[in-house]
């Protein structure tokens, strides 16, 4: 495991972050607000640091479980503001932002990593995909194949397909 981690450090790249950067700089999305969910606060901190290193200092709001209500509200207000003025273009959050926050002014979401519980994944999506949303939501799940995370997502899709079949038998 140490040898593998040393190899990752030597390469100096991280494929998930590289993919995130590609997505955020794609002409279709480069001017859009986006929510980036992660499971862990360490990953949230890593993403903020990496994105700020790409010139996005002052354009990133964040929410994590260690914040009190007032700090969370401040970050939500910052994200709601027009990002061409003094607002944030990106919200990076743990599941502390997964419930009770209406963010339907945004339609682009990235699950940088997915939760083990599919209900929590649905709660995340519910921040933007809700009644009154005027755009089609686009949600990206960054999951590597042949990993535990990949198997969880595959199982989730299997369950969704089964529910669809049960609700609409042909």
Q: What tens digit of pLDDT does each residue of 52-69 get? A: 999 999 999 999 999 999
Cβ pair 63, 75 in contact under 8 A: yes
Q: Per DSSP, what are the bridge partners of residue 110? A: 36, 140
Rounded distance between C-alpha atoms, residue 102 and residue 79, angstroms: 12
Cβ pair 96, 72 in contact under 8 A: yes
Q: What tens digit of pLDDT does each residue of 132-164 get? A: 777 888 899 888 777 877 887 788 778 878 887
């Amino acid at each position: 495991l140490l040898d593998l981690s040393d190899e990752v450090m030597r390469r100096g790249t991280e494929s998930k972050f590289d993919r995130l950067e590609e997505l955020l700089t794609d002409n279709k999305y480069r001017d859009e607000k986006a929510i980036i969910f992660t499971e862990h606060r360490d990953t949230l901190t890593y993403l903020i640091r990496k994105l700020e290193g790409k010139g996005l200092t002052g354009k990133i709001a964040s929410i994590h479980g260690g914040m009190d209500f007032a700090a969370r509200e401040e970050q939500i207000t910052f994200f709601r503001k027009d990002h061409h003025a003094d607002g944030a273009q990106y919200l990076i959050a743990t599941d502390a932002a997964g419930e009770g926050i209406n963010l339907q002014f945004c339609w682009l979401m990235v699950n940088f990593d997915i939760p083990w519980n599919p209900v929590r994944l649905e709660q995340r999506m519910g921040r933007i995909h809700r009644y009154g949303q005027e755009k089609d939501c686009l949600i990206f799940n960054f999951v590597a194949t042949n990993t535990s995370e990949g198997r969880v997502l595959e199982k989730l899709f299997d369950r969704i397909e089964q529910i669809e079949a049960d609700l609409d038998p042909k």
